[in-house]
Amino acid sequence: MIRSSLLRSAGLLALVLLAGCGRGVTSTPGDAPNLQKWVEDVRARPAPALEPLPVMQQFETFEYSAQGMRDPFTDAWSNPQGGSGLRPDPNRRKEPLEAFPLDSLDMVGTIGTGGGTVAVVMAPDKVSYRVRPGVYMGQSDGRVTGVFEDRIELIELVPDGAGGWLERPAALSLEDQ
């Protein structure tokens, strides 16, 4: 009994819902003339005025006449004869101390006296190297020019920024530990 009353209630609800959906959807032949009249009224209205186009600015013409001048994309400071002649030797075999920056090397002592003085340098890899004049060290092609009891003097080759090379003096001092 409850089941039959539940089925009746569901059927009645479905009927009410279907009846509510039908309202306003159906159109009568009298509705179409109202729609046509509205469309005609909208088309008959005058179009809104458009904003005027902006005035185009006239530019002066410019003629480039610098063909006889130097090309701005070439190096102006380079010497066509090859610079001062200072250059690192690309064919020279690199020495072990050239793998490290000069400021990472430590002079830890010397061996010998006078012209036969040899410096002892500790590299960051904790290996000691003997250094004499003429040996290269550091990453700027530094050539040792003198070994003294308290320092090592050398000359480095550094780029001058204009395609050439400059000699720069440098030194490595004995650290008191």
Q: What is the mean pLDDT of residues 94-119?
A: 89
**Does residue 55 register a pLDDT over 60?**
yes
**Does residue 103 register a pLDDT over 80?**
yes
Q: Is 113:150 a contact under the CB 8 Å cutoff?
A: no
Count how many domains the chain has.
Answer: 1
Q: Does residue 121 form part of some domain?
A: yes
Q: What's the pLDDT at 97?
A: 93
**Does residue 54 register a pLDDT over 60?**
yes
In this prediction, residue 75 has a pLDDT band, given cuts at 50, 70 and 90, of: low
Q: What's the pLDDT at 177?
A: 54
Q: What is the CATH number of the domain that holds 113?
A: 2.30.30.830
The bridge status of strand 118-122 relative to strand 165-173 is: unpaired
Domain region containing 157: 94-171
Q: Does residue 64 form part of some domain?
A: no
Q: What is the mean pLDDT of the chain?
A: 83
